[in-house]
Structure formats: C-alpha cells, structure tokens
Structure 1
Amino acid sequence: MYSLTLEQDNRATVSAAIHSDRLVVACLCAAWCGTCGSYRTSFETLASKHPDMVFLWVDIEDHADIVGDLDVDNFPTLLIQRHDTVAFFGTMLPDPAVADRMIQSIAELPDAELQRQAQSTAERRTWQSECNLRQLLNAPG
C-alpha cells in the first residue's frame, strides 16, 4: 500500500511517489471539516484495496502554497491522475464505493483513451493545466 499525507517535511517523498508510474488518487480536504474527518478512514481503506496506486491526503489549508489556486467547492474533493494526465478533479460523495468504482474505471483505461478524454471538454483541458499535482508540487514557492 502506498498511502501518504502531504506534510511540510515530506514533499520530496510525495513528489517521488507521484512521479512514479502509479495512478495517483489525492483527496483534498481540510482539518476542520467533519465530513473529511470521517471520510479519511474510508480513503485509507481504498488505499489498502489498491496497493498499486498512490493515495495522497492533502489538507488544502496547510498546503495552500501548492493547492490554493484549485477550485475546491466542497469536500471531499478527489484529484486522480496518471503521469501528467489529470483524469478527474471534483467533489465526490463521501461514499467509498462510488470512489472505488471511479478509480477502477480510470485505472482500466489505456493511456491513449485517458489522454483523449482529458482533451474532450474545456473543463477537462483546464484540469490539465491547472490541476496537475506533479506541476503544483514542483512549482517554485
């Protein structure tokens, strides 16, 4: 299982993990959010079901320097990407079964189809430039 929480002192470790060939599933939440607190256990359970993926927990207030410009409307918000292709960015029902189905369907997509979908709408094209965790984590502070 590869589950991480972004902290101030582990950015290099997180960066290395998300630059691997694994699908990255990031949950963007806030410490004060009750829904996030209860969803965290479900998120960890999802991580244990998918040991071939990287699951990353990001507190959007603690790490506003990285994700502060992302449009997080509600919690939990998931960001799923493979390599530099953002496959999903948005609010998710706090139901692990819903997230699991989405994660599995994205994981099964061939790279060419994932890239085609990433360019299929204006919203998805925006995700590619504004929501790429690899770029956000390595951007100069």
Structure 2
Amino acid sequence: MSSLTLEPDTRDQVAAALHGDGWIVACLCAAWCGTCSSYRAAFDGLAARHPDKTFVWIDVEDQADIVGDLDVENFPTLLVQRGDDVAFFGTMLPDPKVADRLIQAQAELSSAELTRQAASTPERQAWQRECNLRTLIANADE
C-alpha cells in the first residue's frame, strides 16, 4: 500500500481514513524540495511496511489552508498521531530507517502512556492544540 496524497479532491477520502483510533503518519513537504521528491518513495515504502497505519503525503504549499499555520521549519517534517493524540511533530532526517524506528517506538506505547506523553511538556501540549491533522482538515472544510 502506498501513502495517500492530500488534495482538494481527496480530502473526504483522507478524512475518512483518519477517522477512529488508528495511527496517522503524515509527511509535510513541498513540491519544489528535491529532498522531499527523493523521500517520497521511501515514505511509500514505510506505508507498505506499516499497512495498519494511514500514511498521508501533504504538500504544505498546495494545502496551505489546512497546514498553513503549522511551524514547518525544514523538510521532511513528520506528524505522527493516534486518534487525537499527536505523538510526534518535527523535522525528520530523510532516512526511512529513522522514521521506521520512530513509528515503531510510538506504536509500542499504550494509549494511556501516549496520552500522558501528549500532556507532558509545553511543546507536546502545543502539538495537541495546533497539529492534530483530523482537526486541521475538519476546520479547513468549515
């Protein structure tokens, strides 16, 4: 399975895939970024290795109405969340092995531990308010 690409005509499909308590792994990139272009195949490979999770590719410029307020400092940036708990938001080395370890480590956490960690620091608390992909998509559709 490859990743979904968030586009205006796929928002309903992506929103449906994000419904529930499943894991979401989103890569925020830009079409003009050479690193992002070369990372796409690796990201699709991660999606194939984790078929129980929803992988979403998001071009931050094309989807600015959804992610425009997110603080994307560099590319690629990953957003990992389970249900409504954002587990990680930040720049990632364009190495699929590093992303794979991050995804596996987060998936091993219990729901209670994930929720505890989500509230554990001011940075993580901000992720909950500002980076929840389900909320961002829902708010863009309003």
What is the alpha-carbon distance in structure 2 between the residues aligned to residue 36 and residue 61 of structure 1?
A: 13
**What's the CA shift for 1:22?**
1.9
Q: Which residue of 1 aligns with 2:48?
A: 48
What is the alpha-carbon distance in structure 1 between the residues aligned to residue 30 and residue 21 of structure 2?
A: 28
1:2–1:53 Cα contact (<8 Å) kept? no
Gaps of 5+ in 2: none
Q: Which residue of 1 aligns with 2:57?
A: 57
What is the SS of the residue equivalent to 2:69?
coil
Q: Which residue of 2 aligns with 1:39?
A: 39
**What's the CA shift for 1:19?**
1.2
Q: Cα RMSD over matched residues?
A: 1.0
What is the alpha-carbon distance in structure 2 between the residues aligned to residue 70 and residue 119 of structure 1?
A: 19
What is the SS of the residue equivalent to 1:74?
coil
What is the SS of the residue equivalent to 1:10?
helix
Q: Which residue of 2 aligns with 1:124?
A: 124
1:2–1:54 Cα contact (<8 Å) kept? no
- In structure 2, what residue type is equivalent to 1:68? G
What is the alpha-carbon distance in structure 2 between the residues aligned to residue 72 and residue 26 of structure 1?
A: 13
TM-score by structure 1 length?
0.97
**What's the CA shift for 1:101?**
0.2
What is the alpha-carbon distance in structure 1 between the residues aligned to residue 3 and residue 51 of structure 2?
A: 9
**What's the CA shift for 1:2?**
6.0
What is the alpha-carbon distance in structure 2 between the residues aligned to residue 37 and residue 109 of structure 1?
A: 31
**Among the aligned pairs, what percent are the same residue?**
67
What is the alpha-carbon distance in structure 1 between the residues aligned to residue 20 and residue 35 of structure 2?
A: 30
What is the alpha-carbon distance in structure 2 between the residues aligned to residue 46 and residue 2 of structure 1?
A: 8
1:24–1:54 Cα contact (<8 Å) kept? yes
Gaps of 5+ in 1: none
**What's the CA shift for 1:21?**
2.9
What is the SS of the residue equivalent to 2:93?
coil
- In structure 2, what residue type is equivalent to 1:58? I
CA change 1:2–1:32 in 2 (3 A) is closer
- 5 Å-filtered alignment, 1:1-141, equals 1=1, 3-140=3-140
- In structure 2, what residue type is equivalent to 1:32? W
What is the alpha-carbon distance in structure 2 between the residues aligned to residue 125 and residue 8 of structure 1?
A: 29
